[in-house]
Structure 1
Amino acid sequence: MKIKVALITGGYTGEAEVSYKSASFVQSQLDTEKYDVYPITISLASWFHVDDAGVKHPVNREDFSLTVNEHIVKFDVAFIVIHGTPGEDGRLQGYFDMINLPYTSCSALTSALTMNKGYTKAILKDIPNLFVANSVLLFESGRKDGATLVEKQLHLPYFVKPNAGGSSIGMTKVKTLEELPLALDKAFDAENTGKQVLVEEFVTGREFSQGIFRNAGGELIVLPATEVRTTREFFDFEAKYIPGLTEEITPADLSSEQQQRAAQIIKEIYVRLNCKGMVRVDFFLEQETDHFYFIEINTIPGQTAQSFIPQQVRAYGMKESDFYGQLIDAALQKSL
């Protein structure tokens, strides 16, 4: 009997469009001999599945089931590809825990924690060979005094970004103090990002992104790193999703020592945060010091054909279909 997979897509933020593309690619790679895949859209308005005939079927939220042609469909596993809320911040994970439905991502606690960039940095800051940029975490209650606090504690230039956002939405590089208030407003007002803002001192160096996952056998696999080189001021939303603005090199040109050091750091991050499934860690390699600086962790990384993780899976010598199968198998084993 085939495994019934709920492929969860959509979401409540501007990252929904990326999520739809990720879900389409994952579905194209899943083995149809082994899996029955049902794309499920979750939006603020409704939760639903659209069948091959174009008929829309609402999700029964009591047990996350569908009724299709008078037949009740219950799922064996949820494959979550929502970037941002509610699929990456622990909300869906908590719901799935309550109805006892296995899922492919990190737990509710880990997902909620890692969506908060400031809190994540606080937990990771003492990992050997990992560095974190000086930063200030601002809350809505202190919004009017935010610029003054940043000026007192940090040195220009700054990165200003929503503390719980993704895809570089609401992010600004600030070179002068005059630019700071507008950048703070942009980050605070980014849709569904929690009204918290993280301001960090800028780190000059090469930028990398690297995936890691735990396979069905329980082994931690670190994928080859990708180096990101962009013609933009930084790796912003346009650089990520407009072709031609960014060069992505997989595998990245790192020495053997740098590769080993990065792999050890990323494994420690994964274990420290009690991650599950696949995650992606973004970091800088500072030019003058050769130090790895943590940027952020993504627990639901993009899964289009051009996204970092599929690139790295191919560079590792693995087929995407086998990779996604490993994630599903690991999620099912975790539920036993």
Structure 2
Amino acid sequence: MKVDSLSDQKRKYHSNVKGQHKSVITDKYAGDKAKVLVLHGGMSFERDISKISSKGVVEALVQLGYGVTVVDVGIDIQEFLLKNSNYDVVYNCLHGTYGEDGCIPSILNSIDLPYTHSGVRASVLGFYKDVTKSMCNELGIITPKAELVDINNKSTSFQFPYVIKPIAQGSSLGVEVVFSGDDYSIENYDFFYGDVALVEEYIEGQEIHSAVLDGEVLGILETRPIKKRFYDYETKYTDGLALHIHDVDITEKERSNIFDVSTKIYSFMNCKGIVRFEFIYNSTQDKSYFLEGNTHPGMTPLSICPEIAQMVGIDFSELVVRILNSAGVD
């Protein structure tokens, strides 16, 4: 599996996404079971990843006998759904803006059409990193210290090293990890993904992911980049750039803490279906820091949630069906 570079992604955004294409049915499969409308593609920077995720999902649903219609989501998706609401359920395979920021769930709630993955509340709490930080503060959950920086004031109170993140993007798009020896700082950040960014203190440690399905933590997995400083966009979606470690070397205290925090956030956000949470574990402090949640985790061949599910005996097709069975409206 190989994905375009970030520069190619940006070029595609300007040529395709800015054109605001209309929604179009790309595939249709007959089946004896429920009629499923799969939403993929879309208008975000993650449209290509969404299509890779949907490929496996569609194949599984078709093989299991569901009637499947696949739609590449465009600017007119609300009108499209109003005119094409004669489906039993929507499988939301969108990633990024519009798909996982609460927009699609809001539309589907209004027409009472059940959909997979989390609703409006959880989507907003998970997608907007500044909102996530506020939620964690309210719940007493430890996160790295952070501050907001905008395009008109490119400065930060943090000393090197620190991390720069767009407040509303997924797949590590726009994330920079900056060290003192780098020929780069917040002053060089291009704010391509929005006029406001989040700057966090850098926490050295192991990047650990939990997968939660229907409120139950299935397990945890560590990702360890081979060439990069962190688990960035290219590393996530390219074979051979990261180790996926199943036997995670952390203390039992912090393993239990990660499970507890994952369950607590899942419940508070009112999530449904599958969710992935990210942590950094610092062994010197024996402490785990919550980083963020993903209410629409990938279903690609390299994605973490299907891998964790497989670790506990849930194969890909079963995972797809369990996500489908969790569908509902807010």
Structures share fold, TM-score greater than 0.5: yes
User: How many residues are treated as equivalent by the alignment?
Assistant: 297
Stretches of structure 2 lacking an aligned partner (at least 5 in a row):
1-31
Provide the rounded CA distance (Å) in 1 between the counterparts of 2:57 and 2:142: 34
Q: Please say if 1:304 is aligned against 2:300.
A: yes
Q: How has the CA–CA distance of structure 1 residues 95 and 158 changed in structure 2, closer, same or farther, with 3 Å as cutoff?
A: same
Q: Please say if 1:18 is aligned against 2:59.
A: no
Give how far 1:31 is off: 5.8
Q: Please say if 1:88 is aligned against 2:91.
A: no
Cα pair 1:134 1:154 within 8 Å, conserved: no
Provide the rounded CA distance (Å) in 2 between the counterparts of 1:325 and 1:62: 23
Give how far 1:34 is off: 4.4
Stretches of structure 1 lacking an aligned partner (at least 5 in a row):
48-58, 66-72, 215-219
Provide the rounded CA distance (Å) in 1 between the counterparts of 2:69 and 2:117: 17
RMSD: 2.2
1:60-139 matches, cutoff 5 A: 61=80, 63-65=82-84, 74-127=86-139, 130-139=141-150
Give how far 1:283 is off: 0.6
Provide the rounded CA distance (Å) in 1 between the counterparts of 2:83 and 2:185: 44
Provide the rounded CA distance (Å) in 2 between the counterparts of 1:28 and 1:19: 14
Match of 2:68 among 33, 37, 47: 37
Q: Secondary structure at the match of 2:164?
A: strand
Q: How has the CA–CA distance of structure 1 residues 316 and 64 changed in structure 2, closer, same or farther, with 3 Å as cutoff?
A: farther
1:189 is aligned to 192
Give how far 1:321 is off: 1.6
1:314 is aligned to 310
1:107-186 matches, cutoff 5 A: 107-127=119-139, 130-139=141-150, 143-147=151-155, 150=156, 153-176=157-180, 179-185=184-190
Provide the rounded CA distance (Å) in 1 between the counterparts of 2:295 and 2:62: 23
One-letter amino acid matched to 2:300:
T
Provide the rounded CA distance (Å) in 2 between the counterparts of 1:172 and 1:260: 30
Provide the rounded CA distance (Å) in 2 between the counterparts of 1:42 and 1:31: 20
Provide the rounded CA distance (Å) in 1 between the counterparts of 2:225 and 2:41: 27
Provide the rounded CA distance (Å) in 2 between the counterparts of 1:101 and 1:156: 48
Provide the rounded CA distance (Å) in 2 between the counterparts of 1:321 and 1:223: 16
Cα pair 1:278 1:327 within 8 Å, conserved: yes
Provide the rounded CA distance (Å) in 1 between the counterparts of 2:299 and 2:247: 17
Q: Secondary structure at the match of 2:122?
A: helix
Give how far 1:109 is off: 2.5
Cα pair 1:16 1:83 within 8 Å, conserved: yes
Provide the rounded CA distance (Å) in 2 between the counterparts of 1:323 and 1:21: 16
Provide the rounded CA distance (Å) in 2 between the counterparts of 1:172 and 1:107: 30
After TM superposition, the score normalised by the length of structure 1 is 0.82
1:176-255 matches, cutoff 5 A: 176=180, 179-185=184-190, 188-190=191-193, 194-214=194-214, 220-231=215-226, 232-255=228-251
1:51 is aligned to none
Which stretch shifts more, 4-13 or 28-37?
Answer: 28-37
Q: Secondary structure at the match of 2:290?
A: strand
2:58 is aligned to 27
Provide the rounded CA distance (Å) in 2 between the counterparts of 1:243 and 1:182: 33
Cα pair 2:57 2:299 within 8 Å, conserved: yes
Give how far 1:138 is off: 2.8
1:260-275 matches, cutoff 5 A: 260-275=256-271
After TM superposition, the score normalised by the length of structure 2 is 0.83
Deviations 1:80-110 (A, max 9, x none): 1111011010111111111111111111132
Q: Secondary structure at the match of 2:327?
A: helix
Give how far 1:255 is off: 4.3
One-letter amino acid matched to 1:107:
G
Which stretch shifts more, 202-211 or 29-38?
Answer: 29-38
Cα pair 1:105 1:276 within 8 Å, conserved: yes
Which stretch shifts more, 203-212 or 243-252?
Answer: 243-252
Which stretch shifts more, 197-206 or 230-239?
Answer: 230-239
